[in-house]
Structure 1
């Protein structure tokens, strides 16, 4: 249906030919409970032809939050998160409208977006500096845009090209689809979009496999003469369990100032989501499920050794639903280890003093001393969902790292907290090893 960070769609199979219904993968499965998937079962913005076949499905989404960081950084900047970029103020995180069409086997998809989350995600794309006629400004307002065709082979064969949500990781780019508002660190450190082409094949009712050819790891353009390659595999024996395994291989960095890097990147994640109790009519406990998502990846070549540049981590979530699924409670624990910090967020902007000298922070010094970055995170999330279209969310989050990494009261921008002020040569970003946050989010989806 609506593509998520996990990159799964079945609406493309809902086609008819000569008045005979095509085989539909995962038909009659209830997928609304899965971590990283849209929970809607009703789509009111649907246009149908005279025969009742769907022509277009429209979607509107608005997501806002108030994120209270107990450190109260003076620049109101929330660091080490692709889910939220501001603290101690109200923020419009994402507003998006889109249409999808799978009419007469033709696949078309266009999602437009705006909001503060765009700046966090797209502005890290350094590939747009390679050559001319590039830039995130041309594309960042497009969340997803693709064209393709569906072939009636077995349970479906789709060929598409365009900009897609990433298939790496369990949790979605759309925060409403996740059981928690702040994503797990393994999902926050991995891509949210790809530009390229994919082939989706459904050989049976309960299995899907995909092959991807990509410009690069969360890039609009290419870092290399060769494209990146990917694979995604989903198995659902019934609607209570989902197993997934994803792979990526490519070249995704620049070496020096004049040469393309020969460093190769490999990444793998696998996940299981299991619903072990279901009684949707119950006024007490109505559903119960858990999810686990594991990641491993590394970089090597051109003088870079995998033993010093790898990432490993896991996220384990437990969710309970109450009152006919109108209330949800999720507890999650996750960790990530990233020696070399090649996938980690920069905890502070690169700043220079009045003489043009780069100001190093404690994080830079700690890594230079040989400490490997390790982060643990705990979240507790309470949702109130009066219907499919509205979510009120309250979440507490705690994080801890082995090196100073999270914003302290002094902030990470400048001694005044403003980015357009000259940097005092004695100032350094205020980084701490622990962080506590309380987040209130409200989102609407139709």
Structure 2
């Protein structure tokens, strides 16, 4: 569960931060406390030496024990009721020499003590002063206990707040997840996603909405394509079926001329079906987007396409260019566009008229000398299966210019169609500079 994982991460981060702060603070304070203890022992030893020299009574401190170590190693306890402190060889050497100091730590009855031995300049020997660490250890334990308590309380508060706040932050994501699960289960692309709001979650929701809009459009286009394809396929299939049934019923009783005519019809309709199916596959599979992008010289591309059509049709096809530009495009897909434009131009214009291709920077237009295009048809001719009234008798599927539109749209370009002032139609496209 994402909420639990994020809460655990937040709590772990807080614990790590507190531990780092606590260890840093403890390590910073501990040397100061140790130095203060050492300074207290030294000050107490100086006080004891001064009092001994003055012959005044020694004030008793409950956490300290003092004794006098004579030059011969004899111990004289200065704090009544206290056990004598253990004496080491280093302490005796200081007492015998009457100079130097020595600091050690000892344990008595499981209690730690700090012991300072300091030479007595006047009178010989040395004084030994000890301070137990019970109070210091109590303060240290209390510090650790309070720190642990505060840490636990802070972690609990952070865990609760993180759980609540992360739940609030993740609420839009949960709503989005619920909506996407519903869409996945029901396949209902019309489902509206929750209000995106702002921030990263809002961006994610808007991206999902854009994706759903694209999917809705794609599904609608697919459904329309299937419906239109079924309609367009029905005519050639009916013709093929009728011709085949006629041959089947006749069983050789047709005259050679009639049989040849029926067979010619079959071949023509089969070719039309083959072309239609091929164009449908191109539209359905969107193959032109799989080709990698490359730099393309529009003038060279147009000349190659024109040369193929010259050989195929025997038509006069001219290619002119004004400041042609290099564009970034898919070469084979763009060649398919020019081929379709040339095919339309040669199909819908008299056989003895020329076709002209003109390139102006990134704009390519194909002009024919045919009847032109009605103003009402200029936008619709790029729709799938659209056939203008004046061209319905001309062979074709009505998909050529639809493929042109789809390929140019995939290149972020635009298509256009119109009439030339001197007669004939002009159909072409404009691509963004490459």
Higher helix share: 2
Q: Taking structure 1 as the reference length, what is the TM-score of the superposition?
A: 0.19
Decide which structure has greater strand share.
Answer: 1
Higher RCO, 1 vs 2 (CA within 8 Å, ≥6 residues apart): 1
Q: TM-score, normalised by structure 2?
A: 0.19
